[in-house]
Chain A
Amino acid sequence: MEPHLLEIVDLHTHFVTERGEIPAVDGVDLSIRKGEIVGVVGESGCGKSVTSLSVMRLLPQPPGKYAGGSIRFKGEELIHAREKRMKQIRGNEISMIFQEPMTSLNPLLTVGEQIMETLRVHLPIGKKEAAARAVDMLRKVGIARAESIVRSYPHQLSGGMRQRVMIAIALCCEPELLIADEPTTALDVTIQAQILDLMKKLNRETGTAIMMITHDLGVVAEICERVVVMYAGKVVEEGAVKDIFANPRHPYTQGLIRSIPSMNEERSRLYSIPGQVPKPGAISQGCRFAPRCEYAMDICRAQLPELIAGANAAHRSRCWLNTTQEVAN
């Protein structure tokens, strides 16, 4: 098996507030291999975005605080890396794209200027070469008439185009990992599919691994190979996408899958998981999902289950149901 590109072990990221420290990410383990597309799924506030910002070390400190664990990128520890080293890594080895293509481009610079700027921050190239590469990059992300688009300003482009430009900027230095934080949430459905296709294509062509952060299992099914399901700052289930869709083992994952609207079934009301995501730090004992879980047992409220594998070593879940089943088997 290939070595891990990114390896997050027992990451704890806290927010320091007046009411004390709140664990937004509470012991997350997550790893991504070279060239892999991994989905990170969960509701708002489950810690998926904080995890990604932690990898980039972009969380403002304070209020953010890395309270423990390790983030290793190609074997290099990022949590204690110097800021100078992080600046070399950002954009060059790990890149990021954001949810809002409308606001993640500088309104006063042309699209080309923004690509060229990133290129020239990381690579020892002149203006002319950067300009040529910017046009190439725009073509690569499927923008026709790249020579003229390169001179346009963000407000002249549609949302889908801007997200393509964002992708072009993020990938122009050929990073090994792309963190995509809900890249399609703000887009129309048809454009969503185009952007996902584009990311899949670029992943195949360049071998850039993608960490796809989303709350949309449809997106996961579309492009990911593996998925990590997060709930209240913890990983509750992880495994290959097909295993998880075919055989979800954690009640939360089951609930998420049941909440996907389906054309085939005749259901008058769409299923939704009862209750709400607990506030970070509100539950300190037992399984975080227990208050909303229809199978909750006494042990769930008393003790936190471990993330363990069943018969399939790559499919792990954090639920007492599965451990007791294993014992019973």
Chain B
Amino acid sequence: MSQPAIRLAVPPQAEVSSPWRDAWRSFRRNRMAMIGLGIIIFFILVALMAPLLAPYNYKEQNLVDRLQAPSGEHWFGTDDLGRDIFSRIIYGTRISLWVGVSSVLGSIASGTLLGIVAGYYGRWIDALISRLFDILLAFPGILLAIGIVAALGPSLQNALIAIAIVNVPVFGRLVRARVLSLREEEYITAARSLGMRNSRILLQHILPNCLGPIIVQGTLGIATAIIEAAALGFLGLGAQPPDPEWGKMLSDSRQFIQKAPWTVVFPGLSIMLTVLGFNLMGDGLRDVLDPRMKQ
């Protein structure tokens, strides 16, 4: 009785489209976001192919060639121990991406779990978890990270753990707020009216609908985490020598900033560029995935 209406409602090409595919399609139209994605892919490739790209061993010292200016031999110059900065930056990409991605994954895993539990079950569990987040957020992020690293001992792995802990409430609060609003959605009531268990509703209906904001915040969070890792490295609390961590390279060279500016400029540029890439991509993702942006 309503066949004409049905044909109008579903154009033939609509069959291949899913909400995620639609998001990718509009993401691709966002030029800045695609530039961000390009930068990220570039750094990922650099990290993967580091041994092929690096002309020198990043640990190799050559005291004769100390503080050489950029040249055909050393593209980015050499540092105070005569190490090739270009090679160190290439290997440093591995460290920064690893710290950024894995610490954010850690924050997402624990933050999402806590946020979902708090938002869905509410009452005293919510009060407990929310106060925990409040306490964590009461400290300036970097100060808390310093405190945690100081307690655990300075190392790259502990810096990573500290950064993950600092960012847990960011994701926790995000997910909790999203769950609180999703809980009122009619399709959640509908799912309950169909006799579904809480665990199924959480995993099948609530969690997938939280993913958009989590991905957006996660991408932006990687940028923050890279900066925090560099800051901890700069303070000597992150990567330890001779690891070529960008923040550590900055602090090691800061006394030569006037005599050999290239020792500071290139690590700084690398940090800036990766962070910019993740930020651009995060903003683009927000435009297509964040429900608040959709009108």
Contacts and interface: CB of A to CB of B under 8 A. Distances in A.
A91 B204 contact: no
Contacts of A107: 19, 187, 209
Nearest to B193: A96
Interface string B62-79: 000000000000000000
Contact of A158 (B5, B15, B192): B5
B59 interface: no
Interface string B177-220: 00000000111011111111100100011001100000000000
A104 to B, nearest CB: 4
A197 to B, nearest CB: 7
A148 B15 CA distance: 7
A4 interface: no
A121 B196 contact: yes
A51 to B, nearest CB: 14
Interface in A64-117: 86-92, 95-96, 98-100, 103-110, 117
Nearest to B192: A58
Contacts of B200: 117, 121
Interface residues of A, number: 47
Contacts of A166: 190
Contact of A106 (B6, B14, B193, B209): B209
A143 B196 contact: no
Interface string A159-196: 01100001001100000000000000000000100100
A122 B193 CA distance: 13
Contacts of B7: 144
B204 A109 contact: yes
A245 interface: no
A91 B195 contact: yes
B194 A169 contact: yes
Given A90-B193, A122-B195, A156 B187 contact: no
Given A58-B193, A87-B197, A90-B192, A152 B186 contact: no
A142 B1 contact: yes
A181 B209 CA distance: 25
A90 B18 CA distance: 29
A314 B18 CA distance: 52
Contact of A155 (B15, B19, B196, B197): B19
Contact of B194 (A108, A118, A145): A118
A158 to B, nearest CB: 4
A99 B187 CA distance: 11
A152 B15 contact: yes
Number of contact residues on B: which range applies?
20 to 34
A127 to B, nearest CB: 15
B6 A105 contact: no
A91 B209 CA distance: 22
A156 B195 contact: no
Interface in A223-256: none
B190 A104 contact: yes
A106 B186 CA distance: 9
B195 A108 contact: no
Interface string B17-61: 111000000000000000000000000000000000000000000
A106 B191 contact: yes
A296 B19 CA distance: 57
A153 B190 contact: no
B193 A194 contact: no
Given A149-B10, A153-B17, A95 B2 contact: no
B190 A108 contact: no
B187 A105 contact: yes
A46 B246 CA distance: 67
A121 B194 contact: yes
Contact of A142 (B2, B185, B186, B208): B2
B193 A108 contact: no
Contacts of B8: 158
Contact of A194 (B1, B185, B189): B1
A56 B8 CA distance: 36
Contacts of A145: 6, 10
Given A148-B15, A157-B10, A90 B194 contact: yes
Given A90-B194, A90-B195, A153-B17, A58 B189 contact: yes
A108 B192 contact: no
Nearest to A118: B194
Nearest to B6: A144
B195 A88 contact: yes
B161 to A, nearest CB: 33
A183 to B, nearest CB: 12
Contacts of A144: 3, 6-7
Given A98-B186, A104-B186, 19 more contacts: A56-B193, A58-B193, A90-B192, A92-B195, A104-B187, A104-B189, A105-B187, A106-B204, A106-B205, A106-B209, A117-B196, A118-B194, A118-B196, A122-B195, A153-B17, A156-B17, A161-B9, A169-B190, A191-B2
Across the A-B interface, give the 6 residue pairs with the lowest CB-CB distance, nearest first. A91-B194, A90-B195, A91-B195, A96-B193, A104-B186, A158-B9
17 contacts: A87-B196, A87-B197, A91-B194, A106-B208, A108-B208, A118-B195, A121-B195, A143-B6, A144-B3, A144-B7, A148-B10, A149-B10, A157-B10, A161-B5, A166-B190, A169-B190, A191-B5
